[in-house]
A and B are shown apart, each in its own frame.
Chain A
Amino acid sequence: MIVWVPMDSAAKAVGADEVAAAVLAEAEARGVTLDLRRNGARGMVWLEPLVEVEIDGLRHGFGPMSVADVPALFDDLSAHPRALGAVDELDWMRRQTRLTFARCGVIEPLSLAQYQAHGGLTGLRRTLDMAPAEVVAEVTASGLRGRGGAGFPTGIKWQTVHDAPGSRKYIVCNADEGDSGTFADRMIMEGDPFSLIEGMAIAGLAAGATKGFVYLRSEYPDAIAVMEQAVRIARAEGVLGPDVLGSGRAFDMEIRVGAGAYVCGEETSLLNSLEGRRGVVRAKPPLPALAGLFGCPTVVNNVISLATVPVILERGAQHYADFGLGRSRGTVTLQIAGNVARGGLFETAFGISLGDVVETLAGGTASGRPVKAAQVGGPLGAYMPREKFDTPLGYEEFDAAGGLVGHAGIVVFDDSADMLAMARFAMEFCAVESCGKCTPCRIGAVRGVETIDRIAQGDGAAIPLLTDLCETMKDGSLCALGGFTPYPVMSALTHFPEDFARSREAAE
């Protein structure tokens, strides 16, 4: 009997390890020969722990499972109260276009053999047959844009590093994933780590770098453990090292652990942190692509950007570019979170509307109450009111609607949410996490909290002050922490003015 139980940390957080142990114990008690496999997560977090029983190569899902549901897995499966049917046939799976996440949840994350059986390393092998400039051109032609937030074309960045003089260059993977509502980086690192390793190796060969670093946040101990093991395996199997897949060309990498600073997700702050300094943001220019880590030309890319590269090289740029909307090519790895009936990861072509995501995919709120707002793009992203739910997921489209796609995390709130409290939190977060370099961010955020507190006490005259403060932060901040905190604050104020119109009596 083959049984799959995810080792993804979201599955573990709701009891997957306990369920796995119960499966083992039950099999032993019944004298059943069991092949227990730990996969990554499929992305249907509301069904976790999601156990799969493989019969004749077809994987049947059961979830959400508790320990008490385990014994029935060994009886008539069709009568199991948690039976969902074949996992690949579930609506959530069938509606997706899984390119980056094709293997995630399907294979055992640390099995290089399964990785290759599902197309892994094909892109890297192809890369080794191409000139570096051709690889860069392929990534450019795919239209891939940075998934870390800014949406900068990945191929162009690689080109700059490729063209930069110098023999010492670096590939740095930004795995700081600090945005609330995002977990795509974590899921792929825990569920398909070799795709990131392969993507970084391709980047290294294309840009002319022999060394890579993954800067991985300390809040992800499970992802750190999986990535460290995957790097060791890749090195032992000759995927990494002085002779990548027998090509005679070198690329190796290290996992480095962050230390709990949100701002270290900003690329120059991250580079300072890797160098062992305070994670203060650097002024640009120089671009990291020209003078990055230790002053050397450096590609800094998000986990999803890099993990998407192998499939682009495997299937060709056109295959990827054929998906999408306008200048947002390929797929977006939506992370649906917060107060939703169905939360998780959903990969689909750009162009799906926010409303479709919130109403159809997420199925509305978990609480059953009406949806009030969705924050898209993390703590620096705007609160989108329902009136804007027709906005299609695309960089330019969201920009035009006064929001941002960012890392494509979508956090849904029901009508009990207090948008003044959310605006206050945005300012508080900025104050806590500011690197301290610019006054409008460091001091402005503290003033922002105070100003919102005055509004909460019924001082309506403080509202214009808040608006002015947001303008100052926007104009006078070096990076998007100070510069974009006004997005959640002003969107809350603009779209939900009733939450800011507190009478003095009510406040007392």
Chain B
Amino acid sequence: MTQPTAPAAPPDQAEIDAIIAAHAGLEGPLLPILHALQHAFGHVPQAAFDPLAEALRITKAELHGVISFYHDFREAPAGRQVLKICRAEACQAMGGAGLAEGVLRRLGLDWHGTTGDGAVTVEPVYCLGLCACAPAVMVDGRVHGRVDAARMDALLAEARA
């Protein structure tokens, strides 16, 4: 959904316009458009701001206010893979905090950071609905439960390959 599916392509104005036009007729079109832009480009590209504000008749300040409100939307590309680690209570009860710390330490990152090779961005997430098979993580939209250190290593190796 919100995960970039491909390395961010240079935003193409025609594609931006097409995405905006395809959703402009919806009731409350802004979030669907932002999701579609992020899906296509891996982030909401700067080049979309003017046409989007114009199409929806909102100011660029309003648009920026919306984008910045939501954790999902990013204005710059993420790593090639986004690893979301659940920080919420059920995962904590099963050692999720230690798992997350281990990953961040090993990659030398803070939350929201991206590895130097551009391979992986680590994001916190607050519950994936996998609380009965905790701890849980999501890698580019695919979910994993009962994740221990060994499983995490394998997922990271896969993500960086």
Contact = CB atoms under 8 A, between A and B. Distances in A.
A338 B90 contact: yes
A275 interface: yes
A379 interface: yes
Interface residues of A, number: 65
Contacts of A432: 126
A375 B69 CA distance: 28
B70 A343 contact: no
Given A10-B129, A178-B127, A259-B34, A339 B94 contact: yes
Contacts of B35: 218, 257, 259
Interface in A94-138: none
A282 interface: no
B71 A261 contact: yes
A273 B71 CA distance: 13
Contact of A259 (B28, B72, B84): B72
Contacts of A414: 93
A194 interface: no
Interface residues of B, number: 46
A336 B73 contact: no
B115 interface: no
A84 to B, nearest CB: 17
Interface in A314-363: 335-340, 343-345
A422 B132 contact: no
A13 B69 contact: no
Interface string B118-147: 000000011111111110101001111110
B19 to A, nearest CB: 15
A9 to B, nearest CB: 5
A373 to B, nearest CB: 10
A13 B65 CA distance: 35
A422 B89 contact: yes
B88 interface: yes
Given A277-B66, A414-B93, A182 B71 contact: no
How would you classify the secondary structure of chain A's contact residues: helix, strand, loop or mixed?
Answer: mixed
B29 interface: yes
Interface in A403-421: 409, 411-414, 417
Contacts, number: 165
B149 interface: no
Contacts of A48: 133
Contact of B143 (A13, A276, A337): A13
Contacts of A259: 2, 31, 34-35, 70-73
- Residue among A178, A261, A277 with max Cβ neighbours from chain B (10 Å): A277
B133 A411 contact: no
Nearest to B66: A278
A396 interface: no
Given A13-B133, A260-B2, A422-B89, A180 B72 contact: no
A4 interface: no
Contacts of A258: 31, 72
Contacts of B109: none
Nearest to A273: B31
B94 A222 contact: no
A425 B92 contact: yes
A182 B89 CA distance: 11
Interface in B6-42: 26-32, 34-35
Given A13-B130, A338-B93, 9 more contacts: A178-B126, A180-B88, A180-B89, A181-B131, A221-B141, A278-B69, A337-B93, A337-B132, A344-B132
27 contacts: A10-B129, A13-B144, A13-B146, A14-B146, A45-B132, A180-B90, A219-B125, A219-B127, A256-B28, A256-B31, A257-B1, A259-B2, A260-B72, A273-B31, A276-B28, A276-B66, A277-B30, A278-B65, A337-B132, A338-B93, A338-B94, A339-B93, A344-B132, A345-B132, A411-B89, A417-B93, A432-B126
